[in-house]
Structure 1
Amino acid sequence: MDAGPVVLDGGLSTALEERGHDLSTSLWSARLVREQPEEVVAAHRAFVDAGAQVVISASYQMSHAGYLAAGRTETNCDTDLAASVRLAREAAGGRALVAASVGPYGAHRADGSEYTGYPEVERAALREFHARRLEPLLAAGPDLVACETLPELAEGEVLVELLAEMAPGVPHWLSFTAGPGGRLAGGAPFAEAVTIGGADCIATGLNCTAPTLVDELLESAPGPGPFVVYPNSGAAYDPEGKTWTDAGTPVFSEGAVRGWVERGARLVGGCCGTSAAGVAAVAAALRP
């Protein structure tokens, strides 16, 4: 990976919706990995063509609990987890690295709780949930692991422990959802979250958080990074319709992107609401 700022991709769901797909089911973009894999490849490839140096696999919503709830099997989940890395690799074509997405516990609930938190869920349950899906995901051989959209500090700590046990030497990042006041969606201080990464953690930071909050959150951190930053468009998530409302601009300004880098961001991209055009804008802002 380059020493300078690295361009991440955008919102895979956004790219797939732009291609005409309905992602309102509980499996979200994961459904297409099995049903229309060529569309997942095309969406990834559009981000690479726009300048993304890392593509994030379509495994965010994949979990054994989620698949069982949707009427599919655990074997289906294992197969799709591996396929998500393979499809991202095919799309990257040697031009970008592949990050295996590890979405939060709340994602399998399909109720938007990754944006509110779930302090009642015990560490043992978080560990069991993630360990089972990490096995086939890591076996597929991603270049790195993206632990993303985490609302709870405890969930980040559990993932750090699991990756140290299951994949020593595999680089990963931890990315949290957050709100005003320098706090994670689950309530813990962001300043505390950026300190929990282990030896193989290449960055901690934020994703699927309003871009207007990024500066405040980075400034609350106790050190200079390295941070990972890929906000959403500033829209509000509607868990009933599985859609985003009140969308802001999907393209981050050059000034905003450079400001995040000045505050320590070393991996920068976009999340929900960010299309290939948004990724191209980030890439342009980060060119020397």
Structure 2
Amino acid sequence: MSKVVLITGGSSGIGKAIGEYLNHFSYKVYGTSRTPSKYSDTVKMPLLALDVTKPETITQAIAEIIEKEGKIDVLINNAGVGITGPIEETPSDEIKKAFDTNFFGPLEVIKAVVPQMRKQKSGLIINITSIAGYMGLPYRGIYSATKSALEITAEAYRMELKPFGIKMTNVAPGDFATNIASGRYHAPILENSPYKKEYSDTLVMMDEHVDKGEDPLEMAKAIQKIIEVKNPKVHYRVGSGLQKLSIFLKKVLSDKRYEKMLMKHYRLNGKGR
């Protein structure tokens, strides 16, 4: 029987690329979106209404798939939002929204799908995190924190689920050429802010990284291979060699040397004003 795959956030970007690529194989793929009707002409897979911040929509979407297919073999926790800004000037409600979508939301989806997978005595949960979650990046600190929280929580969750035949892994992408920048929350650049110049320059750099990012198809291919692996690793990283190298360097360099390297990369002045 074909494996049944659920992808949250399947209407655009990496989620859409994964879903449409998996459709070339013998999978039964369902994507989700908060507003599926907006994408009926542009997405080549069924889209269910699901908002990861609203548990009732999660329950309804998963129940619909189980009713139609009788099982869920793979959950790809992909839905997420970007957020940038000086932490001091980022509104608290926006910080909470980012955690609701990038951390608490995925946990709610896992909680909703695990009982069915336990009943099946099988299942695979793939959490799409970020290479940014391995380090605190200036003006992306909240985003880094949300993805890091999911990575660490999933390390524990993975061990708790093993006795039931349920597997879990984290896949951390680097920069991919998607529309993520347009959907990010950007803390406003305040005219009198002490962060004005450096934050403005960093925003330009971040957008350039996305525009020059990898093809999302590469992420889709990586996910398909992971689905077919008998025993997935705890962590995977998918991105440019430089981005993956940054994780290695964090392990081998002293904290201060690594911080200095990041500040140089982002052209930040660490000498005070």
Q: TM-score, normalised by structure 2?
A: 0.35
Q: TM-score, normalised by structure 1?
A: 0.34
Q: Is the helix fraction higher in 1 or 2?
A: 2
